[in-house]
Structure 1
Amino acid sequence: MSKYGPPPLWGREEGFATLLYIILEQQVSLASAKAAYNKLIERLGKITPRKFLTLSDSELKTIGFSRQKTSYGRNLAEAVIKGTLNIPELYNLDGEEAKNNLMRIKGIGNWTADIYLLMALGRPDILPSGDLALLSAVHKLKKLEHRPSNEEFFEMSKKWKPWRAVAARILWHFYLSEKNKF
């Protein structure tokens, strides 16, 4: 922190649009996800489940959605419309229950649920599973011989409880500040 300063407190609004944005961020660069999300905003204005479902597969492909992410976005929109996922209610649930509710939707796994809980709901003890930036940052900071596996990273993180979200923010800040050196 002495080199790069404190990490930003990245936060996101609760809701469908944020979950959709996080789906776009799965396994791609933040820049490409942001570009696709901005195109979606240009096309729809306010992003709602009903508006999202009005777009054809070819329109979504032009915006930047892969076939798989189109399917995941549709699953999410339908779950919200049908009431099988009550996004505002997630705030009132404990972390595990909220995560399980999110992960019932095909296309929302551990990483997506964790990012939502950390960024939108501000949960303090979330460490996104499988986040390559976090794994790379801890590898470099701790001067490890190899990038840790998810299991090794989880073991390391136990000493950071109950503030693992703070550790995640510090590691992301380091990663983004050193990005060209990885």
Structure 2
Amino acid sequence: MTVHLNTQADLEGAVHALVQQDPRLLPILQLAGMPALRRRDPGYAGLAAIVCGQQLSTASAAAIWARLIAAFDPFHHETLRRARAERLGRLGLSAAKIKTLKSLAREIAAERLDLEALANEDADTAHDALTALHGIGPWTADVYLLFCLGHGDAWPAGDLAVQEAVKIGLGLRTRPTAKEMAPLAEPWRPLRGAAAHLWWTYYRVLKKREGVIGETENPPQKANAVLNKISVAKRSSAKAKITAAKRPGSKK
């Protein structure tokens, strides 16, 4: 039987059941406190919002989504299916995201995809059904199942914040990979979605910030490369200032 987290009471009941299933979670709950339920609109609009936010900051994603829903009111898959790619691009969507949103719209229009029916599927089956769609990776699928459908057993194994929280909370030596997160979460079935809410709250308390929302498909090397470029740029700027200060006539 699939558990649904549709209300705060549902989540609180699931978290208490989790602590009974796995006493290791009791100190996590005591430190983090009861998590708050997070929900988004289900269906095409909910999944489209997640797709729009992939690889973007929260502010940038919100701005693009606001322009999109203002341009297409009401927001409907059939409207997006017929919309010109050029118009969608002017609203801030990348070519890849336009292709994904149009592909999803075609699948729904052809009645090959029922996004809301996935709420009653086994979590792993629903996850596989979503990741089989063009442009939908594991993180996007899990976030949709958990936040849009309230699927009680959805498990965002690739979410970096959840991984880091699990590492600290369970006393692991290294942050677990998405593959390693699967067996770690087995004791929490069929309430892995509630466990994810708890781990996100634990992360926020430990790090004093919300978990970073990002695509799990992105290799961490990309983020490291960006940081390295920033570091090099700062060193170059500092070196230029020192050189300028040593030139004759420069102010000290």
For the superposition of Structure 1 and Structure 2, which TM-score range results when normalised by the shorter chain? 0.7 to 0.9
SS state of the match for residue 163, structure 2? helix
Q: 1:56 to 1:101 in 2, by over 3 A?
A: same
| 2:200 equivalent among 140, 156, 172 | 172
The root-mean-square deviation of aligned C-alpha atoms, in Å, is 2.6
AA in 2 matched with 1:41: I
**Residue 94 of structure 2 aligns with which residue?**
66
Higher mean C-alpha deviation, range 138-147 or range 163-172 = 138-147
Q: CA deviation at 1:19?
A: 0.9
Asked if structure 2 preserves the Cα contact closer than 8 Å seen for 1:23 and 1:69, the reply is yes
Identity value in percent: 33
SS state of the match for residue 11, structure 1? coil
Higher mean C-alpha deviation, range 38-47 or range 76-85 = 38-47
Asked if structure 2 preserves the Cα contact closer than 8 Å seen for 1:85 and 1:102, the reply is no
Q: CA deviation at 1:28?
A: 3.1
| 1:84-123 to 2 correspondences below 5 Å | 84-123=112-151
SS state of the match for residue 128, structure 1? coil
Q: CA deviation at 1:15?
A: 0.8
Asked if structure 2 preserves the Cα contact closer than 8 Å seen for 1:129 and 1:150, the reply is yes
Asked if structure 2 preserves the Cα contact closer than 8 Å seen for 1:85 and 1:101, the reply is no
**Higher Cα Rg, which structure:** 2
| 2:46 equivalent among 11, 18, 24 | 18
- How far apart, CA to CA, are the structure 2 residues paired with 1:180 and 1:19? 21
Q: Which runs of 5+ in 2 are unaligned?
A: 1-28, 213-252
TM-score (norm 2): 0.62
Asked if structure 1 preserves the Cα contact closer than 8 Å seen for 2:204 and 2:211, the reply is no
SS state of the match for residue 7, structure 1? coil
Q: CA deviation at 1:84?
A: 1.3
Q: CA deviation at 1:132?
A: 1.8
How many residues are paired up? 182
Q: Which runs of 5+ in 1 are unaligned?
A: none
Q: 1:92 to 1:152 in 2, by over 3 A?
A: closer
| 2:106 equivalent among 78, 83, 87 | 78
